[in-house]
Structure 1
């Protein structure tokens, strides 16, 4: 940090540099290391941990990897202690830790925990990763919608409502038309409808954006719950049996060991997620649309002076964000579950919003954050199957605990778009 120092007698001004220590990463890694160490000390598990790398659908067979549980856990813990000490030293020396340090730490910590949990059991690596990607897909679409909304200056708290109405519309239209693509378009329309109301109240009538978003979530939850009981339950065979997307296997790519079945033997919506992430990331930083969007979200007065219609830009981009989030809702009924049920999104819209913050309002980083939360959710299911001594209540907390640690421990003091949440009044 640079500050102005008092003028010296000659009349010149000197610049003084004030150094500030950042202990956030170091403290987070220290707490994680202590917790893992306590787990290994007070709940030691001996035996052999087996990791299955191969997949029955793959043409290339890979052997299982077996390793002694106790010795591997302590070796990995020693490596984590070294990385934690590195982070502490960087903080003490006023240095910013390099980017790969928390990434490597996270990979080793998760691996150490898996080795401990898999004592005497089997971890299907491909299945774990496949499930993680599948669970992360709606979060990816929701996070992208959140990124676009907040980058243009509107806090999109209504992602949960866009998920729910998108899921309901997809189930209804796909059941009636027997076409999943029609259901997908209906989900996008449902997301746009929720976003339209959010934009109208927050941009036109200057209502607090967070309050509008929360109210919309409650409204859509009640509306879809009512329509489910009044419309779908009595006519379940006709209105709540949507035609689902099937998997499309990409030749050659799907045969790549481990990642092939995970990434290239998926449904249309998953492939659409790949394309959407790439298009939004490219458009946000490489096109006139992205430049104007970011200008409106950072400094709407300056954008207005160069001829950009601020409120119009916000309105249409919030609608676009709603359409993208609606696709995430379609994933629940057209891929994952196969029918609509009450409150089936289970608060994932708020997890997507956390991915936006953890991803620093960047499409790629938000996507990686969504994958992390998807992995945590699937890990919860795996730990239940492995029969670990961790209480079941903690298993249910795991995805949300990871979300809190990620946002508070790694993204607690970052700055979002300057004009996010602030209405713009011309003149």
Structure 2
């Protein structure tokens, strides 16, 4: 049963009347541009065909009722007329509550709603299941009540909800690509201006994601440390962000910086340059050059930003040995585990899947999860 059918039938069964709208918002994978978002830099993600789907309808009062299909049909209910506070036992509900609370600050012209939520974005894999939920909920109220909000505003609202209500620090990329993704395209995003440029993926190219299933333990503390190191670097150059520092400027004075901060800064500066060049390579259909840039990105994350782990490096090695110069592969996401992303001609996917299945578990003792994705459309009716 599709997510649309599942959430619609659950809606009718639990609420006793049919949903009027069905909204979807996708997860995402970042092809290149890692840890550049909070440095006001560039990222190149695409939305993927794993999504959050919400069947919904307006209510004629100020109550919001939500049922989560993926959490044993747990129910959350809250009023728009009372202060919206965090739910102590249902973490999923806080993403919904946070989005609605922050929407009220943007536009008070909406009332209650009934929602049933289902999704298939893998959780905890770094594919943005939370951003997908935030953008889907924002789009529900925007569509039901014709709120004058565009995709970027819905994305910013979701980011605020995650940072301030849920209490999880994140950049804007995840919500923005979920809101604005374009079918068969990646999106070059300027994380300072929030300007976007759609970049077509080469015809016949597959987006492959492999989850290492290595349990991430350091990701929270190390993320904050990396962020602080980047801020230290920006202060050294007396700039608001590393986006404003040129490689030439950096190379002249790198020896004056703390050696660890030097490595962190070098990653951000070179990664920004790689990301802009990658958009141009993709637009020309040059998978060979894209592959070189992805390899450089992975090496920089491993050696300068120091956020990979042996299991991830092993996965990258296995995939690269199989695709050669016909595509690219790198770690994607915050680091210390999680997923790798690869871009390759569709016909190479079976060989890659076979190589990973034969070698990864044998070398690491962990079984991977393999996803073949398509670049998909951003949030909207489905």
**TM-score band (shorter)?**
under 0.3
**Structure number with higher strand proportion:** 2
TM-score, structure 1 as length reference: 0.25
Structure number having the greater helix percentage: 1
TM-score normalized by the length of structure 2: 0.27
CA radius of gyration, larger in: 1
